[in-house]
Structure 1
């Protein structure tokens, strides 16, 4: 009897187990599905503008070599930079890249005597990302390289174009057997540089202008994302999110796995995600794609940003993007953080995300001309820099200063990048109102000396709208792009887009190029209206519609002439 009871119980248990297995396999969703309501699920609102990987990969500078040891430098966003890169180089084909040792050619001799163009990418860009800009075909060794610079040149003893790709370690160079470029292309590049400010090269390969170059101090109004907007963008379930305030006064949002720290009076955020995996490292290019997608979904892009080159030790985990205002990058300057976005990734998942919550309005509120040092003044300051032996690059940049009434001031500076990737401010521009002495190599502008005899344009010429005819320079050619040469002849772009010299006397000598992006002069700078002594200075900028706007000087105190600082 007892055995029968045990058998019956066992059969019942087995049947119940089979029933439970069936329900788990086929009927669980219908039994107890959890449906989120509108109250406990918050859709992330779109913030900012989306971008693509193609939009963040471009050289930090173009160097034009004109022979006879003459050089000039073009910055991102200037008209000639865009014309050369976007219209003449981007999308070209470079095939059959063959590897050789970099020391096989005397590059210093070539740099001094041959005409060509260098595309510089800082610490280097992986080839698979560079293929977003150029059509590249090479062997496996080449495809796994990081390219620091591309040199397209025409040797004087040859009538063919040669293109070289330099690895970031400086040991290897790859030459394209077939390049989709002509000798005329290279000649056109060099022609653009003939009427631009000359640069000299230091012994260790740094380029500095022979004379002061004109920049602009600008004030931009801004808007700001609220911490709540970013919290909704980064956390799916607001019902599980808590807000706390730490000892420093920073506000922290957390759901137990992810945290969002709001600092700098609500202007800066640091996001962390501890739930992400931490096994193998991804390739740098994979992390770049993941970073661009993440930013598109969580905050978007405020204006133009460039992918920052990472050191080999950093590239497996970190991805950074730098903001540009006109043609100048924003340098990180403690204690005010602004101008870059930095992400840390594990297994392609973002574990850390730092960025500003400020978004600039499209139009600047005020701008004043400021001159950046050149020649011996800049060389001497560089020579006395305590970390001179560690300097890998020198470049003009902008330092952001917060003002009242939701405004940011951008002050032009000379910055240096060290070999370890850190950047510091070397020298601030001359104070507002300073005018450099006239160059002995350049003629005076129309009307003789202008006050103190200083030229108004960046290269000793006068800005659009100040010629004897009173018309803006951009109106002197059919395509809206022309400038007057230093010898009194006009220099412009022909119908085919090439640099051409026009008939002498077509306009006032030394008139400055109008920028297609509305940045003022060719390098995004300002001019000085008026040619008689004692006339009042007015800052001008050419807008997108070709009209000339007058900037209003701000009342902020100017820093000292040779002020220095550190971004660290």
Structure 2
């Protein structure tokens, strides 16, 4: 190779190195780290379970549906039947909601339920009408941020036409919508559901809202379960921003604390519950109810916190508090030995307090058929119906006295301020047949 060609190659290599140096210098000067991605990764909640995420219409559920038709009352608590009605509503287009009445009396409220051919969906607490947009289609041009309801009455007295009444027990308001429903959809949903209801009775109370109970004895199953526990380390990783600096302190045989410089998680291993607090996030301003519900559901979904059939039960926008109740076989679960609710209190842009159980039902080992007394028998044996919010059937979660299993025992409950108080029925004629 000649000297001339060697010099040309040297010059080309030198030029290439100079250009490469310029490019690398430019990349270094213009490089900006993706701080947003880093921040999101640090604050991202890890899953504590593999349970599927849930939509609003899967956690905001009526706990009862009542049917008034031809002067007869019937009802159901089965979600399979109630979901058919909800599904039918989701296929409709409704008119703009209009305010029909305010300062509703208890008597007027009761007459609304017990008139014409109507279905009533009972919700455990106020549901924002804006949140109900996830189910029912109606015009979006009107914002009703402060309008909520506790009972949805569906009047189907006129063929092909529905009248929807949104009643609020707390606010004593009534809003109305109209919607058209074809005969085929009505037959496939409403008519079929009505055929699968059982007889109910109305318990009237002077100056108070009526109570509604099954007319005949209730047949249910008692379940015996082993309990699974969600590993506490999963909550540690999901709730703390930097689990590597969290300190674990065993206070005694039933109490363990996890904490870092800004948050603390208290664990009660006997009750199988946790209490998480982030004091710096404390908030003082009220929050919109629909935002409170959506943000809380997002929070639970983000870390897989819906580890059972938890349903919306209570909200307090002024206090930024929301609660979810554990259900089993479409009935609420109450317990004196542990908590069966998820409770959240929001601060400024994030959770301030978070309390919940960390158990979930594992393997069923035994079942027994039980019969609970009729609703009328329950009412006749109560000394007073004052200050009673509701009377309903649910499950009492109890610990077996000898075995390492838990019992889901069907029971009647009086509900006062969201607390389920079991009604003793041993002397009221209930029977029990053991079927393993």
- Provide the TM-score with structure 2 as the length reference: 0.78
Task: Kindly indicate which of the two structures has a greater share of residues assigned to helix.
Answer: 2
Match of 1:202 in 2: 203
Residue 271 of structure 2 contacts residue 338 of structure 2 at CA under 8 Å; is this kept in 1? no
- Deviation of the 1:189 alpha carbon: 2.7
Q: 3-state SS of the aligned residue for 2:62? A: coil
Residue 161 of structure 2 contacts residue 180 of structure 2 at CA under 8 Å; is this kept in 1? no
Match of 2:322 in 1: 319
CA RMSD of aligned residues (A): 3.5
Match of 2:340 in 1: 339
1:66 aligns with 2:69: yes
Query: Greater shift after overlay, 44-53 or 261-270?
Result: 44-53
Residue 414 of structure 2 contacts residue 423 of structure 2 at CA under 8 Å; is this kept in 1? no
- Deviation of the 1:228 alpha carbon: 2.4
- Deviation of the 1:199 alpha carbon: 0.7
2:132 counterpart (125, 130, 133): 130
- Deviation of the 1:396 alpha carbon: 1.0
Change (3 A) 1:347 1:199: same
Change (3 A) 1:344 1:91: farther
Matches within 5 A, 1:267-286: 267-286=272-291
Residue 84 of structure 2 contacts residue 193 of structure 2 at CA under 8 Å; is this kept in 1? no
Match of 1:349 in 2: 350
Distance 2:256 2:415 in 1: 33
Matches within 5 A, 1:400-549: 400-403=397-400, 407-418=405-416, 421-428=417-424, 430=426, 434-435=430-431, 539=435
Q: 3-state SS of the aligned residue for 1:131? A: helix
Q: 3-state SS of the aligned residue for 2:386? A: helix
Match of 2:19 in 1: none
Gaps of 5+ in 2: 1-28
- Deviation of the 1:125 alpha carbon: 0.5
- How big is each residue's C-alpha offset from its partner over 1:473-527, in whole Å with a ceiling of 9 and x where there is no partner? xxxxxxxxxxxxxxxxxxxxxxxxxxxxxxxxxxxxxxxxxxxxxxxxxxxxxxx
Change (3 A) 1:278 1:185: same
- Deviation of the 1:54 alpha carbon: 3.3
Aligned residue pairs, count: 392
- Deviation of the 1:264 alpha carbon: 3.4
- Deviation of the 1:53 alpha carbon: 2.8
Matches within 5 A, 1:232-381: 232-246=237-251, 249-265=254-270, 267-310=272-315, 312=316, 316-331=319-334, 333-334=335-336, 336-361=337-362, 364-381=364-381
Distance 1:432 1:426 in 2: 14
Match of 1:152 in 2: 154
Match of 2:119 in 1: 117
Distance 1:109 1:289 in 2: 33
Change (3 A) 1:216 1:252: same
Distance 1:224 1:98 in 2: 48
Distance 1:252 1:365 in 2: 33
Q: 3-state SS of the aligned residue for 1:211? A: coil
Distance 2:184 2:138 in 1: 21
- Deviation of the 1:295 alpha carbon: 2.0
Change (3 A) 1:298 1:80: closer
Matches within 5 A, 1:40-189: 45-48=46-49, 49=51, 50-68=53-71, 70-77=72-79, 79-86=80-87, 88-101=88-101, 108-109=110-111, 111-137=113-139, 140=142, 142-155=144-157, 160-176=161-177, 178-182=178-182, 189=190
- Deviation of the 1:296 alpha carbon: 2.5
- Deviation of the 1:413 alpha carbon: 1.4
Q: 3-state SS of the aligned residue for 2:85? A: helix
Residue 341 of structure 1 contacts residue 356 of structure 1 at CA under 8 Å; is this kept in 2? yes
Distance 1:348 1:394 in 2: 37
Distance 1:401 1:308 in 2: 22
- How big is each residue's C-alpha offset from its partner over 1:313-335, in whole Å with a ceiling of 9 and x where there is no partner? x654111111211111112x33x
- Deviation of the 1:180 alpha carbon: 3.4
- Deviation of the 1:206 alpha carbon: 0.6
Distance 1:303 1:154 in 2: 35
Distance 1:407 1:131 in 2: 42
Change (3 A) 1:101 1:327: same
Residue 282 of structure 2 contacts residue 346 of structure 2 at CA under 8 Å; is this kept in 1? no
- Provide the TM-score with structure 1 as the length reference: 0.61
Distance 1:272 1:426 in 2: 31
Q: 3-state SS of the aligned residue for 1:229? A: helix
- Deviation of the 1:76 alpha carbon: 4.2
